[in-house]
C-alpha cells in the first residue's frame, strides 16, 4: 500500500479509461515551418513528421522558439512560412484537436481548480459525464483535496498540475505540453512523468512535449528533437532542427541504463554543455 504518497502514483489502468470518450491520436506534419517577429527570425525551416500516438520531446536552449513552435501547432499563432498539418489538414486557426498545457498555468483566478479543469472539456460534453471526467482527472493529478481552491490558494506546482488536467480533459488528438513539470519538485515530477506514461499507454494520443530536462526527454519520448541554430549559421538565423534522436527501449525505461547515459551526453553536448572526461 502506498497510502503515504499522493493518489497520483497508485493508479490503475481501469480508472484511466472509465469515462474516456473516443480514443484519438492525430499525426502532425511540419513542412518548412518558419516564424519571424518583425525582422527577428525565430524559427527557420522546421520539417518533421510526427506519427499518430508518438511522443516527441523538444529540447533547446531558452528563447530558441520551442513555445512558439507549439503555439503554431495549436493555431494560436501563424507561421511566417511553411505549414503545419494535423492529420493532413493544414492548421489555419485555433485547432480544436489540440490541447495546450502552457508554460505558465494560466488558470482563471476567480474559478476553483475544478472549474478551471472543466474549461478543457470538449464542446457539447454532457454535463454529468463532464463532471465525472473532471473529478477523475483532478484525482489523477493528485489534487482531490484542493479541487475547491482558487489558483492563488495553491502552490505553483499544484496550479501546473491543474493546467495539465485541463489539457487532458480535452481528450485531444494532439497534446501540447510546454514544460508541464517545470514547477514541480523532483519527486512529484517523477510521479507526473509516470502518470503521463500511464495515460499515454491507456489512450495513446500524440504528444509534443517541450522540456529543459534531458532525462525527462529520454524517459518519456519516442524521439527527441533538438531545436537550435547550427554552429555555422549566421547569428541572426532562426532555429531549426539540429538533430532527431530515436530513444531505444520500451517505456518505462531504466533511468540508469548505459545506452541512455550515452544519449544523454550526446544531447547535452547538443545543448552546448561539454562532456566531462574522467
Q: Which residues 6+ apart lie within 8 Å of 93 measured at CB?
A: 75
Cis (ω within 30 of 0) for the bond into 257? no
Regarding 188 and contact with ligand ATP (CB under 6 A), the answer is no
List the interface residues with ligand ATP, window 10-39 (CB under 6 A): 37
* Minimum distance of ligand ATP from residue 264's CB (angstroms): 19
By CB under 6 A, is residue 63 in contact with ligand ATP? yes
Cα dist from 96 to 49, 116, 122, 164, 275, whole Å: 20, 18, 8, 17, 43
Query: Shortest gap between Cβ of 3 and other proteins (angstroms)?
Result: 14
Q: Where are the beta strands (DSSP E) in 53-116?
A: 55-59, 81-86, 89-90, 98-101
Give the nearest distance from C-beta 152 to other proteins in angstroms: 9
Task: Evaluate whether 165 touches 140 at the Cβ level (below 8 Å).
Answer: yes
Reported in sequence order, the residue ranges of 218-266 that DSSP labels E, i.e. its strands, are: 223-228, 240-246
Interaction of residue 120 with other proteins, rule CB under 8 A: yes
DSSP lists the bridge partners of residue 240 as: 228
Q: What, of other proteins, Mg ion, ligand ATP, none, does residue 161 touch, CB below 5 to 8 Å by kind? A: none
The answer to whether the beta carbons of residues 223 and 202 sit under 8 Å apart is no
60 binds, among ligand ATP, other proteins, Mg ion, none (CB under 5 to 8 A by kind): ligand ATP
Report 123-152 residues binding other proteins (CB under 8 A).
Answer: 123
How many residues sit in the footprint of ligand ATP (CB under 6 A)? 11
The Cβ-side half-sphere exposure at 208, using a 13 Å CA radius, reads 31
Q: Which of 16, 25, 67, 220 binds Mg ion (CB under 5 A)?
A: 67
For 99, 196, 261, the CA distances from 76, given in Å and listed in that order, are 11, 24, 37
Binding status of residue 92 toward other proteins by CB under 8 A: no
Q: Which stretch binds Mg ion (CB under 5 A): 26-34, 37-45, 65-73, 110-118?
A: 65-73
Smallest distance, ligand ATP to C-beta of residue 71, A: 7
Residues binding other proteins: what is the number (CB under 8 A)? 19
Q: How many whole angstroms separate alpha carbon 265 and alpha carbon 101?
A: 28
Footprint of other proteins (CB under 8 A): 74, 76, 94, 96, 98-100, 102, 104, 106, 108-110, 119-120, 122-123, 166, 170
Footprint of Mg ion (CB under 5 A): 67, 103
Amino acid at each position: 500500500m502506498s497510502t503515504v504518497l499522493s493518489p497520483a502514483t497508485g493508479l490503475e489502468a481501469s480508472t484511466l479509461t472509465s469515462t474516456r470518450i473516443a480514443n484519438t491520436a492525430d499525426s502532425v506534419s511540419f513542412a518548412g515551418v518558419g516564424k519571424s517577429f518583425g525582422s527577428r527570425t525565430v524559427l527557420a525551416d522546421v520539417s518533421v513528421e510526427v506519427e499518430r500516438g508518438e511522443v516527441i520531446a523538444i529540447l533547446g536552449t531558452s528563447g530558441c522558439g520551442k513555445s512558439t513552435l507549439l503555439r503554431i501547432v495549436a493555431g494560436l499563432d501563424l507561421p511566417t512560412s511553411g505549414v503545419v498539418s494535423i492529420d493532413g489538414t493544414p492548421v489555419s486557426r485555433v485547432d480544436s484537436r489540440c490541447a495546450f498545457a502552457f508554460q505558465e498555468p494560466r488558470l482563471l483566478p476567480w474559478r476553483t481548480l475544478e472549474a478551471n479543469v472543466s474549461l478543457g472539456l470538449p464542446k457539447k460534453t454532457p454535463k454529468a459525464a463532464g463532471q465525472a471526467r473532471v473529478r477523475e482527472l483532478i484525482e489523477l493529478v493528485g489534487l482531490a483535496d484542493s479541487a475547491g481552491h482558487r489558483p492563488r490558494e495553491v502552490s505553483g506546482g499544484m496550479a501546473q498540475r491543474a493546467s495539465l488536467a485541463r489539457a487532458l480533459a480535452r481528450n485531444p488528438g494532439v497534446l501540447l505540453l510546454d514544460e508541464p513539470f517545470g514547477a514541480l519538485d523532483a519527486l512529484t515530477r517523477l510521479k507526473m512523468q509516470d502518470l503521463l506514461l500511464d495515460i499515454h499507454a491507456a489512450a495513446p494520443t500524440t504528444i509534443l512535449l517541450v522540456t529543459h530536462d534531458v532525462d525527462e526527454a529520454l524517459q518519456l519520448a519516442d524521439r527527441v528533437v533538438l531545436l537550435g541554430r547550427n554552429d555555422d549559421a549566421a547569428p541572426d538565423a532562426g532555429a531549426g532542427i539540429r538533430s532527431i534522436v530515436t530513444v531505444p527501449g520500451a517505456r518505462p525505461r531504466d533511468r540508469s541504463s548505459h545506452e541512455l547515459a550515452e544519449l544523454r551526453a550526446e544531447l547535452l553536448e547538443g545543448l552546448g554543455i561539454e562532456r566531462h572526461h574522467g
